[in-house]
Amino acid sequence: MAPPNADLSHSSNTAAASSGSAPSPLFKVNSPNVQYTDEHILSKYSYFNTLVTKQADGTMIAEPTETVYEFKTERTVPRVGMMMVGWGGNNGSTLTASILAHKNKLTWRTKSGVHKPNYFGSVTQSSTVRLGVDAEGADVYVPMSQMLPMVNPTDFVLGGWDISSKNLAESMDRAKVLAYDLQRQVTDEMSKMTPLPSIYYPDFIAANQEDRADNLIPGNDKRAHVNHIRKDIRDFKAANNLDKVIVIWTANTERFAELIDGVNDTADNFLAAVENSHEEVAPSSIFALACIEEGTPFINGSPQNTFVPGLIQLAERHKAFIGGDDFKSGQTKMKSALVDFLVNAGIKPVAITSYNHLGNNDGKNLSSHRQFRSKEISKSTVVDDMVAANDLLYAKNEHPDHTVVIKYVPSVGDSKRALDEYECDIFMGGRQSISMYNICEDSLLASPLIIDLVIMTELMTRLQYKTIDMPKFSSFHSVLSILSYMLKAPMVTPGTPVVNALSRQRTAIENIFRAAVGLSANNEMGLEHKIW
């Protein structure tokens, strides 16, 4: 069976990509440290940091450091395919319809009026970056998407797998996310898109998903499943004349896989476990392994521990890009912003209670305890680094009470309802309680994150660096921590600290992009306005 040809590309950019031309930049940096060629942007960048040494008497010595990096970014934007695991779910069908709406410049009517497509909620497509100041000292902003050459999401070629055989039009109708008038206009195209068969290991997802599982890769041989998925990726790439494919997991939340010495603790043990079809090798890990062996970036958008230690070692061995875990769309994004604010304001959160209910298939799957446990872990660790950053508020090993509750309520559909309460200690023994109620369409927040994850991952395949001690340019580490802004439980390079604070995650994206074009890190000192 040939992969579905869901060519959603936009003609002008496709022509540019196939001709090997680079898009014209919105701005150019005028600096001896930056060079533009037909193929690359080359920059030199001084990275300043502070090395702190703790003394025996408890004092500290702070020493400014400087490291010079060189960056090389390929300017030609390739033709990119995105394959989604769980293409027929709410996120996959919603995203597919939205890209068709952009491609075809559709408008649709609801009771509130006429609407047109947008990419609101996408940090790459709908946010700006402060570039600098003009001659009068006024701030100048540019779209983040124009900082470096990035793929236009309207040009994505879409495909993927699903355990359900419904075509994308049927999946969109089942999801009940988008307005009827929009669904009506994209139904014909989406009815021609059918997911490839996927893999189904019943022990990893809730039993209530069994009735969907009618589109399966046969057999129980996990190595055969890896090889089957690898062939799917190759066939999809060839059939659609693609330069690159990015695979993203937007399927059901799995239970956590047990970490077992001799099974998934090392790269070789994990490969042996796959060969032996070990019961603790999860479906998401099979997809990740197939991508790693195929040299295709893989992003995990669900909270399970897809990337067991052996898989991370394999990604490093193959120099393959991976990222995860769990889309950070609504409640957790607000939590990572609010706790960051409170702690930095010297206010001490002592209890965080998060209750939410939803009625989509994600909620149905999470009504099973083992799958819920995966989500609970990803949502409850989001404040750890912010708490650890302030030992004036928190003693060693002290942590706020943190409770997460998720309930399945079918009648609310994709409209997720989230209630958060923050209990804080304030001045002189006082207490502050903050309650927040958030209602949102879950898939309309998650879909733009998928766009950002794919765009930024693809960009990182074209961005390389070197230091003065390195003989040649190198790709960044396999674990793409730059994706942390979009993920609840961000993966980082082994041995490095996790950053959950939303402002720091966003600043990291901005400043890496700035470094790649030879601009200094953004700061908010505003000295041009503060000195005579």
379-416, pLDDT tens digit by residue? 667 888 888 899 999 998 899 998 888 888 888 888 88
C-alpha angle 111-117-119 in degrees, rounded to nearest 5: 120
For residue 312, CA distances in Å to 68, 250, 266, 345, 381 come to 29, 20, 9, 37, 20
Catalytically annotated residues: 326, 375, 416, 488
pLDDT for residue 19 = 37
pLDDT, mean over the chain: 90
Q: How far is CA 399 from its chain centroid? A: 27
At 3 the pLDDT is 45
Q: What is the mean pLDDT of residues 351-373?
A: 76
For residue 379, give both structure tokens.
């949502």
What would the pLDDT profile of 157-200 be if each residue is shown by its tens digit? 999 999 999 999 999 999 999 999 999 999 999 999 999 999 99
CATH 3.30.360.10 residue window(s) in the chain: 331-441
Average pLDDT estimate for 233-248: 98
What is the DSSP annotation of 148-191? S----GGG-EEEEEESS---HHHHHHHHT-S-HHHHHHHHHHHT
Q: Which residues contact 78 (CB under 8 A, 6 or more apart)?
A: 17, 151, 242, 243, 244, 458, 462
- Tens digits of residue pLDDT in 142-154: 999 999 999 999 9
Q: What is the pLDDT of residue 478?
A: 95
Neighbours of 41 (CB within 10 A): 24
pLDDT tens profile 252-285:
889 899 999 999 999 999 999 999 999 999 999 9
Does the pLDDT value for residue 374 go beyond 70? no
Write down the pLDDT at residue 527: 74
d(CA 394, CA 121): 34
Residue 54, exposed/middle/buried by CB under 10 A (0-12, 13-18, 19+)?
exposed
Looking at CATH, the fold of the domain delimited by 331-441 is given as Dihydrodipicolinate Reductase; domain 2 (3.30.360)
Pair of tokens at residue 481: 């921590």
pLDDT value, residue 451: 98
Q: Name the strand (E) or helix (H) holding 313.
A: helix 309-318
Tokens representing residue 206 in the block = 């809730």
**Confidence band for 101, pLDDT divided at 50, 70 and 90:** very high
Contact by Cβ (8 Å): 196, 159: yes
- Average confidence (pLDDT) over 353-358: 87
Pair 22, 36: CB distance under 8 Å: no
> What percentage of the chain carries pLDDT values higher than 70?
92
pLDDT at position 251: 92
Of 459, 425, 419, nearest to 439 (Cα)? 419
Instruction: Please determine, for residue 308, whether its predicted confidence score (pLDDT) is greater than 50.
Output: yes
Would you place residue 44 in the very low, low, confident or very high pLDDT band (cuts 50, 70, 90)? very high
Residue partners of 186: CB distance under 8 A and separation at least 6: 97, 100, 101, 104, 106, 169, 172
115 phi, psi to nearest 5 deg: -120, 155
According to the model, what pLDDT value does residue 230 have?
98
Q: Which helix (H) or strand (E) holds 285?
A: helix 283-294
The highest-level CATH class for domain 1-23+75-162+164-195 is alpha beta
- Closest by CA to 169, choosing from 361, 409, 327, 6, is 6
Quote the distance between the C-alpha of residue 316 and its chain's center. 19
The confidence score (pLDDT) of residue 13 equals: 30
Confidence of residue 1 (pLDDT cuts 50, 70, 90): very low
Residue 457 confidence (pLDDT): 98
Residue ranges of the chain assigned to CATH 3.40.50.720: 1-23+75-162+164-195
If one counts every other C-beta atom within 10 angstroms of the C-beta of residue 157, the result is 23
Average pLDDT over residues 107-129: 97
pLDDT digits (tens, 9 = 90+) for 437-454: 988 888 999 999 999 999
User: CA angle, corner 356, sides to 354 and 357, nearest 5?
Assistant: 165
Q: Which of 436, 440, 437 is nearest to 349 (CA)?
A: 436
pLDDT value at residue 16: 31
How far apart CA 146 and CA 150 sit, in angstroms, is 7
